[in-house]
Structure 1
Amino acid sequence: GYHEGVRGARADYIALAGFYLVYSFFEIDLTTPLSEAFERMASICAFPFEEGFTEEERGDKNAGLYCFRSVYVDVILREWMGLAQVKVYDESEWALGAAILLHHELDDEERERR
């Protein structure tokens, strides 16, 4: 679903499941501009699985999904959301993000009842 935003928030934010996981697997710093991050991922994913990944990386049971996920994140951020050169400044577990959003939604409902 789409959320209008959190009233009182002091910054713009987006939330994506799996985004940090992809960056972490490819050892990309969260402050790296999107174009650089996706260039790194594409350079690794251009090779067959056995050549692009180290033996240790291939040992990760989800290693085969990270190239797909990198394209998925690229499409969402750059094509659907239109974010060209943003940097990601922080991350949190999805449960924390959901709790914060729920807290603000409940506050909004309480204000509407008054």
Structure 2
Amino acid sequence: MSDPLKLASEFPSADYASWRKLAEDALKGAPFDKKLVTRARDGFSVQPIYTLDDQDDATRLIHEVLTATVEPRETVTGWDIRQLHTHPDPKVTNAAILDDLENGATSITLKLDAAARQGREISSGEVGV
């Protein structure tokens, strides 16, 4: 199988310092922390970009758990192509999921209505709730 990301190899590798310099240049003197860092209500600062160096052990563990369902051999160069499905009809959703998996998706996210999460029949008034 040929490398689907060969095009990316034609570009220089990126690093945070280079990205930060470009971002600061684009801000034309405006303070990086005031323009690109979001302050959450709980006091946390949300950075505009994160790297692997920003992960602590707990974050790495959470990432491993969330991606554990995807076999490494099935993700070419670490990419996961995930499709969201929200349709309330199981037969329609199943057909759409199979079609996505046969055409390049490597995983799916299935969002269920409240009634479906509780194992009840979905009435028309509950669709999408």
Q: TM-score normalized by structure 2?
A: 0.26
Q: Which has the larger radius of gyration?
A: 2
Q: TM-score normalized by structure 1?
A: 0.28
Q: Which has the higher strand share?
A: 2
